[in-house]
Amino acid sequence: MFEVLSQPASGFFGSRLIQEIGLSNYKHYDRIVILVAYARHSGVLRLKPAIEKFMAAGGKVDIAVGVGQGNTTYEALAELKGLGVDLYVYHDSNLAQTFHPKLYLLSQANQRAWASIGSSNLTTAGHYSNYEMNVVTELNLTKKRDQKIFKDITAAIKPYLDTTGNCCRPVTSNLLDQLKDQDYVVTESGAKQSFKAQAKKNVQTKLFGTVKLAKPTSLLIKKKSTVKAQAKKIKVTADVFWKRLSNYDASKKSSPGQIQIPIGYLNRFPPLSNPKVTKKGAMQSDVHLDVLFVENKKPSMLVQNARAILYEPAPAHKRKNNELRFTFLNRGILKKLDPRDILIFRRTDNANTWFAVELVKKSQTGGFTGKTGTKLPDGI
């Protein structure tokens, strides 16, 4: 069975990959092999929790990354090495011969395999925000036809993990430093500055426009039976954070509905779009996500098209700190929010409904005055 996954039209490749790794509580497969032309820190961080759980369940991971085009970052390789995967770099000194595959192979010996061959590198853009296309196949390794396909794929992979050749080397701390010192890899800050420069150039030249991708309209499900049916399909995980609302967060006049979230929680949200440069030189990126709104301990509405926004002030702006904001884009919910209320964000196991967000009114907190990020008392 073959499937063409066209991002973003068919969904996010990264979400699909993470979902596949997590099957059967991370025991559906026992080996992962990834070959990519380059990797970025943000892409690795998104995949990191799934890889950690997979390896904790006994899985083996091999990853080969290219360093031939100056796009792989030092931090990405350092993060992968820290995970304990079998990590390699593959590079051909002939600049006309670039290591350029994008392959993801998940397998359970003699049982099953899942393979993706396409255009997605190990980056947030490649897994979420870029236009990408990948051909995905599921293989039954008890059948001869699928065994042949799997054999062909593994044979193609083998040379890129073979350290006895001239181009593949295992990543050690010493090699990692050499790659950085000799400019085979860039730093994340250097890559970001390069991207900003290109973004500003695009704004100035205006040779190209952009495609405004269709987003779902805000939807409020009023029938409790429908919400309950949706909620049964969604399970929350142990990944949780909370925010006590300030006067600004609950304001109906100043930036209504925009709730400031501590920047440290950025990695709890789906990957954001590539930054856009405003006329004043600020940078802004965002992501739309569905959330299940919970009130009085019960799911009360499913909100589609909520939004998270990351603001990076212009260099000349007095405010220097980046800001992460979240909004339900729903006036019905905004009217329910008051200063000192608490919003609890619980990650779900559903790729289409990112958070279950529970509203705890200040009258229900029992006088709790802890700051955002501290542990909530039992019962809240």
> Would 332 be classed as within a structural domain?
yes
Into how many domains does the chain fold? 2
> Would 195 be classed as within a structural domain?
yes
Q: Band of the pLDDT at 217, cuts 50, 70, 90?
A: very low
> Would 218 be classed as within a structural domain?
no
Q: DSSP per residue over 303-331, as a string?
A: EEEEEEEEEE--TT-S--S-EEEEE---H
For the domain that residue 292 is a member of, what is the CATH number? 2.40.330.10
Query: Whose structure tokens read 């700190």?
Result: 321
Whether residue 11 sits in one domain with residue 149:
yes
Whether residue 253 sits in one domain with residue 164:
no
Report the share of the chain in percent with pLDDT over 70. 87
Whether residue 89 sits in one domain with residue 140:
yes
For the domain that residue 20 is a member of, what is the CATH number? 3.30.870.10
* End-to-end alpha carbon distance in the chain: 47
> Would 292 be classed as within a structural domain?
yes
Structure confidence by residue, pLDDT tens digits, 103-160 = 999 999 999 999 999 999 999 889 988 899 999 999 999 999 999 999 999 999 999 9
> Would 138 be classed as within a structural domain?
yes
CA 169 and chain centroid, separation: 28
> Would 212 be classed as within a structural domain?
no
Q: Which domain holds residue 70?
A: 2-205
Whether residue 192 sits in one domain with residue 273:
no
SS (H, E, C) 56-72: HCCCEEEEEEECCCCCC
pLDDT over 50 (residue 91): yes
* Statement: the pTM of the whole predicted model exceeds 0.75: no
Structure confidence by residue, pLDDT tens digits, 348-367 = 887 668 999 999 999 988 87
